[in-house]
Amino acid sequence: MDKLFGWLALAVLLFSGWVAHKNKQAYEEQAESRKKAQSTFTNKLAAKERAEKSLATLESNIEDATTQVASANEKLAAAQESLAALQESVGAKQKERDPLAKKLKEVKDYLATLPEPDEVVPQIKKLKLQIIGLEEEVEIAESKLANVLQQGADSEEGIAKFEMVAKNQSALRSQPFLETGLAAVYQEWGFVTLGAGDLQGVVPGSTLDVIRGGEIIAKLTVTAVESNSAAADIIRSSIDQGVVLRAGDQVRAESIDDTAGAGLN
């Protein structure tokens, strides 16, 4: 009987040890789980603070863009007034040219009807001198008209560019003629700087493509713009795992097709 109780006691001790081991293992797993949860919460809290700062910056940039659009609209209105004045000038120059051309034709037609005797030679010489003078006046008028027409064409091109710039700024799109590169990369902090700014067509709040070897490797959201430089956040969902951005990577404005199809935030 004592031997039986001894075996039972040993069994109880072994079972108690096994239960204690399991309880310790479960406690360690719970502690590790709480530690991971705390780390995840801290990371999400930091991400929230960064997002709030980025949102505040974006709202400020939108206000700046609105001011720039208003200024561009004022310049556009002034350019349109200038074009209207040039068009009026073109019409006036055409009116000056037409009578001269008509008079020249009349003189040539008259000369064709004159006889060739010696008594009319002085008159012919006089008329020829008048023709030369009229031809010079016509050339001068045509040259002035060509200059006015060229000024009108230049103004129309400038107005079209103003309209395109104002439209892209209103839509928070950088200008399609933008060509620049990454000046510095801070991928661990989620942002980059660019070697171009407002003067080169960078628009606050717009989306940009990072290109390497003819392929889009990442997308950026512009957060701050100076005259010749800018800063942008990296859209992390647009970059494949293992891709590292480098200074010198090409940067272009996001195309309209990309804007319609990407769906990135």
Please indicate, yes or no, whether residues 186 and 162 belong to a single structural domain of this protein.
no
**221 close to 235: Cβ distance less than 8 angstroms:** yes
Q: Answer yes or no: is 23 within a domain.
A: no
CATH number at residue 244: 2.40.10.170
- Own/partner pairs for 55-64, CB < 8 Å, 24+ apart? 57/223, 57/224, 58/204, 58/205, 58/221, 58/223, 61/204, 61/205, 61/222, 61/223, 61/224, 61/225, 62/172, 62/204, 62/205, 64/204, 64/225
pLDDT per residue over 37-56, tens digit each?
788 888 888 888 887 887 88
Q: How many domains does the chain have?
A: 2
Residue-range definition of the domain harbouring residue 104: 66-170
User: Per residue in 211-258, pLDDT tens?
Assistant: 999 999 999 999 999 999 999 999 999 999 999 999 999 999 987 665
Place of tokens 């016509």: 138
Alpha-carbon distance 127 to 115, whole Å? 14
Q: Above 70 in pLDDT, residue 156?
A: no
Are 185 and 162 in a shared domain?
no
User: Do 77 and 120 reside in the same domain of the chain?
Assistant: yes
